[in-house]
Every structure is written in structure tokens, then in C-alpha cells.
Structure 1
């Protein structure tokens, strides 16, 4: 990568890693369902002026939106509201790599290679250590389980994206933006039945500058800016060059949450974190090695 593009990669890492701290701030003033609905509504309204509507059939956009957007963030925001620390959420959410591999085997009939099985085993053992050692921290079992559900939803979205690409349609930032018109509907329906109309109304009329700044960050910076820059880098470099950048996201998430939110992570959980990161690195480096072997 050129120095300029490496700098853009670092911007993405910090934008996505700090994203979890901002989510925590947003949940101080909004319920999980209202935060999700407003976030995607802002993305859809703003993004539609800059990105053209994809030619992808509506049924595929619907599946994509309900899994990657609604499912992932409904579970994630609820998890962080009910006891999942922001830093750990940024790491545990990366278990989507494990779920994506498993779902690709089930739904796309893809083959899992030996190094991927080993990477899954190492990362899964790390997740087990994190999940079983939350008694000395603010993490709850419910929060941990819901974050895993968010990762599984993300993985379903990844498999859907692959399916869309295989059918010859573009799965780029245009799809991300226009699919954002769909999630606000289930988010607001859930808010009505979970929070009640009075709470929904109070969330709207009491929106302050902090909430506005949170929504702008989550929609404009983390989503439109982050994915826009990501698409730019993916168009210029191989996936093997760009993909490892995501390993920096939980590092930024963990450190920023520790310094800004004063989150405590037990020594055992740090061991689990290292195992998860090791598994993710093994999966990434294994793919790079295989790509180089094929090119040789």
C-alpha cells in the first residue's frame, strides 16, 4: 500500500474501533431499538443522495438488510445495553469469521481447509475463556450471548453478500446504503412493542446534541465514510492485503473502551482475547499463504 492508502486504512480501523465507545454513549439516551432505527434512517436519507440504487432484486436486499443490518445491530445494541462491555463487544463480534465459515459450508457448500479448522478451534477456545470468566467484570452472560447472536447475524449477511455476488449483482457500498431503508421498519416496530409509544416519543423529543453527534458518527463516519474508504481500498488492492486491517478494530475498541469508559477486563479474559486474535491471525495468514502458493 502507498503511505496515503495505509493512512486511510488506519482511519478505517480507528473509526470502526471507536465506534463501540460511541454506541455506548448513544445507549445512554436512546433505547437499543430506537438507536438502531434512527441510525439506519440517517444513513438511508443521507446516503441516497450520493449513491445510486443497486440493481439487486428486492428479495436479496431484504434478506441482506434483515441479517446484516437489523439482526446484527438489534442483538449488538441490546447486548451492550444489558451488560456487554464495549471493548469486549468489539472483539467477540469478530467471531463472525467463525460463523461465516460454518454458514458457508452449510448454505454455499464451500470447503473448509485444515488451517481454517485450526483457526476456528483456537478462536472458539478464546471465546469460551472470555464467556466463562466474566464474574470479575461487568460482562453478563446475556450480553455475551447476544453479542454472539449479533456475530451470527453478521455472518448470515456475509453469506447473503456472497450469494448476491454469485448471481452477478454488485455487493458494494450502494447496496449497503439503499438496504438501510429497510431496518428502520423492524427496529421501530420492536421499539413500539418493547419500549412502548411513550418511551419512543420521549426518545425523539429529548434528543440533544450528544445524541445527534452519536447518530452522525455511527451513520456518516463509521458507515458511509468507513465502508466508502473500505470499498476504495478493496478496488485498488487484493482482499488479502486489505482484510487484515480488520484485526486492528478490536485492538482500538479494547484500548479506547479501557481509557474512556474505564472498562475492566480480567486476566483470564485477556488470555481469551489473545486466543481469539491468534485464531483470526491464523485464518488471515493461512489465506494469504494459500493465495501466494496458487500464484507461484
Structure 2
């Protein structure tokens, strides 16, 4: 990878890791459903007027927008409003890797190698270690909500896979037209009219969070990511996402002052080792077979 593109990949990792801090600040003042709507309004406008619609069916585009926007981010934002730590959320969301693996087997008939299943098992043990400490505690509910969010991220990955080789940035921008209306309706149902009226009294920090989530994390992040995937093999680009939880944990510690228990540290290490095994294990096996 060229040095310029390496820097670009690291910028994406930095933006996506800090994004969890922005979410945490945003849900402190804005309804999680309304924050999701604002994210996608910002993502779609004005970009949708300058980017051509991707060559996919309306049904597939709707399925993507609904799974990633209405479901994934609404559950994640709700989990963080209910107390899910930003650093831990950045890691637990990576469970989408293994959930995507399971869905790919059922839907796409993929055949992962045993080392990928081993990685998934190790990550599941890590998640169990984290959950065991919080059984009956305040974080148990937010933890489950984050896992549900990771599941819908996995679903959106399968939808994206079925879309084939398309302009990913266009797919993201046009898919962003789907979530706003359903999310505004959900905000009114669960949080009442205050979900809208409270927007007139938010702080500059909350406004900055919305702008960062919409334009930094979504447009800049996914735009650069699509560029890298178009230029390099996915096997070279994808492992950079393993750095996102590290940025998330460090940022949460220094910016939000979040602390971790030993259960959370050991559980997180097991999840991270499972991710490493899942991403690099097949490549290692191939090298061993060649020798």
C-alpha cells in the first residue's frame, strides 16, 4: 500500500474510533432515534444531488438503508444512551464480523475454514466473560442492544454483498434516504414531541456530534473506505478495522474518562484475539500448505 493510502486508511480508523465519542455526546442531548435521522439527513443532503443513484434495485437499496440505518444505528444509539461505554461499544460492534460469517453460511452458502470458526468461538467466550460480570447489572441491557446492532450490521453486509461491485459511496448516500422518516416517527412514538422541540436547545457540542457523525464518520469515512477497497484487495484493507476498537478505547479513556474492570479487559482481549484469528488465520493456513 502506498504511503499516502496508508495514511488515508489510518485517518478512517481514527475517525471511526472517535465516532463513538461523538455518539456518546450526541445521545446525551438528542433522542437516539432523532440522532439517527439527523445522521442520515446529513449523509444524504446535499450529496444525493451530486452523486448518481447506484445501479441496484429499489428493494435492495431499501433493505440496505433499513438494516443499517433504521435498525443498526438506532439500536447502537439507544444502547449508548442507556449506558453502554463508548470504548466497549466500539469493540462489541466488531462482533458483526462473526455474525456476518454465520449469515454468509446460511444465506450465501459460504464455506469458512475451521480457523475462522475458532476465532468466532474465542470471541464468543470473550463476550461471555464481559457479560458474566454484568448479569443483573445496569450494563447488561445496553450490552444486548449493542449485540443486536452488530447483528443488523451483519445483515447490511450480506445485503451489500448481494449488490455486487457497485459505487459504494453512492450506495451509502442513496441508502441514507431510507432511515430519516421511520426514525422521526419512532422518535415521536417513544420520546414524544420533545424529541423535536429539544433540538432547538442543544449545545454546540451536540451539533458538532451530529456533523461529525454524518459527514466525518459516514461520508468521509465510507468514501475513503470505498476508494481503498476499489484500489486494493479487500484482504489488505479490511484488517485496518481491527484498529478501530483500540482508537475507541483510548479516546474513551482520555476524553470521557471511561475505566475498565479486569473482566472487561480480559473479555475484550479474547474478542480481539478472535478477530485476529478470523482475519489472519486463513492466510496463515494457506502459507503453511504452500510450504
TM-score where L is the length of structure 1: 0.93
8 Å CA contact retained: 2:113, 2:282: no
String of CA shifts for 1:167-194, please: whole Å, max 9, x gaps.
xx62611100110011011111100110
In 2, Cα distance between the equivalents of 1:111 and 1:293? 19
Over residues 106-143 of structure 1, what are the superposed CA-to-partner deviations in whole Å (9 max), with x where a residue is unaligned?
1112112101110111111111111112379x861100
Correspondences of 1:41-120 after superposition (within 5 Å): 41-120=41-120
Name the CA distance, whole Å, in 2 between partners of 1:191 and 1:32. Answer: 8
Is 1:231 the counterpart of 2:230 in the alignment? no
1:49 is displaced (CA, Å) by 3.6
Shift of 1:294: 9.5
CA contact (8 A) 2:38 2:214 kept: no
1:203-247 CA distances to partner (integer Å, 9 max, x unpaired)?
Answer: 232244222211110011111101111111112211111111000
Match of 1:196 among 180, 189, 192: 192
Q: Tell me how far apart the structure 2 counterparts of residues 123 and 171 of structure 1 sit (CA, whole Å).
A: 32
Name the CA distance, whole Å, in 1 between partners of 2:237 and 2:283. 11
Rounded Cα–Cα distance in structure 2 between residues aligned with 1:106 and 1:289: 25
Q: Which residue of 2 aligns with 1:164?
A: 163
Residue 48 of structure 1 aligns to a residue whose secondary structure is helix
Cα deviation code 1:44-74 (max 9, x no counterpart):
1132144221121110011111112221101
Q: Secondary structure at the match of 1:222?
A: helix
Distance 1:193 1:261 in 2: 31
Cα distance change, pair 294–33 in 1 and its aligned pair in 2 (3 A): farther
Deviations 1:46-105 (A, max 9, x none): 321442211211100111111122211010000001121010000000000111011111
Aligned length: 291
- Where does the alignment leave 5 or more consecutive residues of structure 2 unmatched? none
1:133–1:266 CA contact under 8 A, matched in 2: no
Give the distance between the partners of 1:230 and 1:38, measured in 2 at CA: 22
Match of 2:139 in 1: 140
Q: Which structure 1 residue ranges, 5 or more long, are not aligned?
A: none
Within 5 Å, give how 1:1-296 maps onto structure 2.
1-134=1-134, 140-165=139-164, 170=166, 172-197=168-193, 199-289=194-284
Distance 2:201 2:128 in 1: 40
